[in-house]
Structure 1
Amino acid sequence: MNPFGVVLAALVGIYFALFILTKPSRLAILLVAGMFVTRLNVDLGGLNFRPETLAGVLAGVALLSPKRTGRSLPVSTVVSIGAVLLWLLLGAMSSVIGSPELSKSLSVLIWCLLSVVSAVWIARNPEQWKRMIRIGAVIALICSALAVLFWAAASAGLSTVGVQVDPTYGGYASYVASIEANVLAGLLCLWGIVAAWNPLGAINRGVQKCLVMAAPIAILTTHTRAALVALILGLCVVFVCRRSARGLVLGAGFIGGVASMSLLFAGSDSGFAKFGNLFDTSGGTGGLRLQLNTLAFNEWRSSDSTLLGLGWNSFGQRHVDPTRPFLNLPAYIGNLPLQLVYDGGLLALATVALAGSIVVVILVTRKRGGLVLALAVPYLLFSLSTSVLWLFETWFWVGLAWGLMAEGRTTEDVPARDIPGLSEARV
């Protein structure tokens, strides 16, 4: 790029940053939109910048600004955040010691750090939560519609925009604007559950119904079994814990389920064959993931770094993705607990467990256990088959959880029709 182009790009970047930072609402919108557009990236100095990482940089600037806004956080939240930062520090140490390609490990670690920074910003700006939830639900609904549209166009031989070929089962899997189809599936799973729960009453009733109906259909077009099972489980938790949402879950959920089954049994996509046995690991992608998990576990257990791990995101530096070996793509560990111990050892697992335990204990004692259960259980389920650890897709919910820890308990905000002990005071 010529000098004039560099200067112009710098000026545009500065203007954009100032525009976003002028109002917290703009940063809130960028953070939410960015989690859905992870496939778009720009390489700058060996680092891949995506909309969500750019938003993370701006969130850091906002937190460090002399004119920074936002409330202070309680000690419990600070301790949880401190445990996460310790985990990242341990990840940096293990990468320096064990990663075959240090730069690749550190680039992903920086990505995760920026997601954590964004989560802290969310925790400190509760006045933006309602806007973020409302916008996120609308974008999730749009992505659901596009997933079905792109899949239908690809299946008809009209276009391959927004889809990838399923290398194991055949057919097309929709990713829309996410890095991979299974990443989109996880997003739609969590947002479908949030739509059913409707925290803060932020989501329009029409968007609620449409998203609960559309999410299972869209997830089907991503060819992601774990996310579909997780969505069903999450909606069941919502039905049990949120009395006010039972009609919505039964009505919209039933319509979405029938539509999904109709599409599934139409047999128009060979990739749908995997849904015939949701928990099969004897072959296909399930079998390949089991093989990779076994390889990763044995590699970690037999190493001299069981405490500190083998380096952040370093499994793919040692192994090629067996689903597409001809492309020489790095393999990855699609299993959250195993990924934690492989990358950062038992110390990493302990620090993450500490951070998470503090959050869960505080939120449950403040009568917000229902929403925690509805989101955490499905997340843990689909995290056993895909990796979204450093994406903002994960840390958005962590930021809300950290923020809720600062919210005091009230009784007047609790709907009387919700189950005592499982409803939340403000959310």
Structure 2
Amino acid sequence: MHRFLLKLSSCSLRNSKFQRLILPSLNLFASGSPPPPSANPYSADSFRKSRAFSSKSRALGVRCISSEAGREAIEYDVVIIGAGPAGLSAAIRLKQLCQEKNTDLSVCVVEKGAEVGGHIVSGNVFEPLALDELLPHWRQEQAPIEVAASSDKFWFLTKDRAIPLPSPFDNKGNYVISLSQLVRWLGGKAEELGIEIYPGFSASEVLYDASDKVVGIATKEMGISKDGSKKETFQPGVDIKGRVTLFAEGCRGSLSEKIIKKYKLREEVNAQHQTYALGIKEVWEIDESKHNPGEVVHTLGWPLDPKTYGGSFLYHMNDRQVALGLVVALNYKNPFLNPYEEFQKLKHHPAIKSILEGGTVLQYGARTLNEGGFQV
């Protein structure tokens, strides 16, 4: 599995090239036909009429069948849950290996977000080693990796001071990027290799055969009222089956957790207990005179108390933008601690306020992070 340095970034879709990732029906093969405007985009029809059922895809082993539950089912060789860096990298590498072995496999990536990259929230200092291995020519292919890390700063914050400390990080050769933009770019590369990507479809259930082997996932049913009854617009989920199913859901994925518990994977290898944190992030556009592209700042201390694990980051990206974030471990003992309020305090620290003053918030988001626990 290729490695990616992950933390917290989100960006709006700007490149028309990736419109294909939002509406699969816009990128049909000749044998496909788009659903009528009135059709539910989340129905089984969306799969059946999409490019997954072109003559080319059928030649790769993609089949539309009826499942035992009465829902339609699609069969692929490999089904990947999650169109993040891990899921897309796995899909791309699999297709590369197919080319090397002069064979082919049908590969489907299911993504719950309405667009590829839409659920990626990461303030990211990116180490390109994994991408060098996966796509060696990315520098010549207009990848959204432009701002090289130029300096490292590490501060201990008190309420009104930023005390410089020796930086424990070495970001020479790394880049300050938007991981969301990189994931969109990877999505385009995946599609060029013939990988089917379905954004907007949430995997809600793991499918097993009679021997308890994982054989795929089922997408979420649509058109269910609050009391559980079916509306007139009800659309059943779709079973997406594969000879191999890869779960790349990210931090504490719901289906991954079910599988871990079902097969007692942590008990089998005596894995350490996993710990988590909450990361909150904003992207600001600041005054050009305060902008230092590539500057990387990490802090510890205030506004968190000495008993609470966490810290903040400030990354100078391109286009006069900075990513500011606070990470707070979710094992904090103070029941009155509010991570959002702590983030607001951080923005009023003199060292941070002086950079943000006169600027504008462009984007904001939050997500949970894996923080610890060695997993074999």
Give the TM-score range, shorter chain: under 0.3
* Greater strand content: 2
TM-score normalised over the length of structure 1: 0.23
TM-score normalised over the length of structure 2: 0.25
- Whose Rg is larger? 2
* Greater helix content: 1
